[in-house]
C-alpha cells in the first residue's frame, strides 16, 4: 500500500468517527437551535399567512425580509457562532475530555488528523446551516401558492442557489478560522469575540479595510443587498462589492491558507490536560 492510499484510508476512518461527534455532540444542542430558529419562524409566518383571510404583504416583501434575516442573522450570528461551536471544539473539546492523546498515539500524521476533523466539522456545518438557509427560503414565501411557484421557476432558483452557496462558503471560511483558534488558544471564545467585533464593524470601516474580512466577500455574493439604515447609516462607508469570481476564489484561497496553518499547528501541538 502506498503512502497516499494509507492517508486516504486513515482519513476515511477518522471522518467516520468525527462526523458522529459533530452531529451528535451533547454540548452542541444550542447549534441545532441556531439552525432551526429561522426555519421555525419562516414556517410559522407562512402558516399564519396562509390561514389569513387578507394578505397584507407581497412576495417581494417576504424575500426582502429574508434577505435581512440572511445578512443579519445567518452571516453575523447563526453561521458565525455555529462555526465557533463546531470547529473550535474539534481539538479543544478533546483536550477538555482528555481523549486527544488516543489520536496522537496512533500512527496518523497530524496533518491528516486536522484535515479529517475539519471535513467532518464542515459536513455538519453545511448540513445544519446551508440546509437551514435553503429550507427557510423555501418556507417564507410558500403561502403565496401559484405566485410562489412561478417565482421559484423564474429567478427564484438562482436566488436560492446564491444564498446556499454563500452559506457554504461562510462555513468553509469561518470553519478554517475557528479550527486554528481551537488549536492555538486555551479559550477560543476570546479571539472569536475579537473576530466578531471586526466583522460586525465592517460596514463602518474605510473601503480598503473592509476587504480584510470574511463578511465583505459573503455580502458581495448575497443576491439581495440590504443597506444599513437608521441612525447608523450616516456612519456606514459605501464600498463596491467584490465580483463573484473574486469573492469565491478569495474565500477558497484564504480558507486553504488558514487550513494549512492549522495543519502545521497540529503537527507541533503538545497536550497538557492540566490546563
pTM over 0.95: no
Burial of residue 33, with CB atoms counted within 10 A of its CB: 0-12 exposed, 13-18 middle, 19 or more buried:
exposed
Question: Is the CB of residue 103 less than 8 Å from the CB of residue 113?
Answer: yes
Question: Is the CB of residue 111 less than 8 Å from the CB of residue 266?
Answer: yes
CB within 8 Å of 244: residues ≥ 6 apart: 220, 221
pLDDT per residue, tens digit, the chain (275 aa), is 677 788 888 888 888 888 888 887 777 788 889 999 999 999 999 998 888 767 678 888 899 999 999 998 999 999 999 999 999 988 888 887 888 888 888 888 889 999 999 999 999 999 999 999 999 999 999 988 888 899 888 888 999 999 999 999 999 999 999 999 988 887 888 888 888 888 888 877 788 888 888 888 998 898 887 766 655 556 566 677 788 898 999 899 989 999 999 888 888 887 776 65
Give the domain ranges of the chain. 3-268
CB within 8 Å of 221: residues ≥ 6 apart: 162, 165, 166, 169, 244, 247, 248
Give the C-alpha separation, 174 to 27, whole Å: 19
Amino acid at each position: 500500500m502506498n503512502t497516499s492510499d494509507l492517508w486516504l484510508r486513515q482519513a476515511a476512518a477518522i471522518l467516520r468517527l468525527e462526523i458522529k461527534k459533530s452531529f451528535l455532540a451533547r454540548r452542541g444542542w444550542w447549534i441545532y437551535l441556531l439552525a432551526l430558529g429561522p426555519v421555525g419562524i419562516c414556517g410559522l409566518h407562512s402558516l399564519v399567512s396562509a390561514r389569513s383571510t387578507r394578505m397584507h404583504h407581497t412576495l417581494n416583501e417576504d424575500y426582502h425580509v429574508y434577505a435581512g434575516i440572511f445578512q443579519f442573522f445567518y452571516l453575523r450570528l447563526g453561521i458565525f457562532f455555529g462555526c465557533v461551536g463546531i470547529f473550535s471544539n474539534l481539538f479543544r473539546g478533546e483536550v477538555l475530555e482528555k481523549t486527544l492523546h488516543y489520536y496522537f498515539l496512533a500512527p496518523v500524521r497530524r496533518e491528516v488528523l486536522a484535515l479529517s476533523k475539519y471535513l467532518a466539522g464542515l459536513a455538519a456545518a453545511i448540513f445544519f446551516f446551508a440546509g437551514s438557509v435553503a429550507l427557510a427560503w423555501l418556507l417564507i414565501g410558500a403561502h403565496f401558492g401559484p405566485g410562489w411557484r412561478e417565482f421559484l421557476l423564474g429567478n427564484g432558483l438562482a436566488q436560492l442557489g446564491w444564498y446556499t452557496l454563500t452559506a457554504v462558503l461562510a462555513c468553509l471560511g469561518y470553519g478554517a478560522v475557528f479550527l486554528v483558534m481551537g488549536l492555538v488558544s486555551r479559550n477560543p471564545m476570546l479571539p472569536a469575540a475579537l473576530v466578531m467585533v471586526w466583522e460586525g464593524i465592517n460596514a463602518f470601516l474605510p473601503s480598503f479595510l473592509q476587504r480584510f474580512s470574511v463578511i465583505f466577500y459573503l455580502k458581495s455574493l448575497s443576491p439581495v443587498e440590504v443597506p444599513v439604515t437608521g441612525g447608523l447609516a450616516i456612519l456606514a462607508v459605501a464600498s463596491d462589492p467584490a465580483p463573484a469570481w473574486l469573492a469565491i476564489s478569495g474565500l477558497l484561497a484564504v480558507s486553504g491558507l488558514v487550513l494549512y496553518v492549522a495543519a502545521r499547528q497540529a503537527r507541533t501541538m503538545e497536550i497538557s490536560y492540566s490546563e
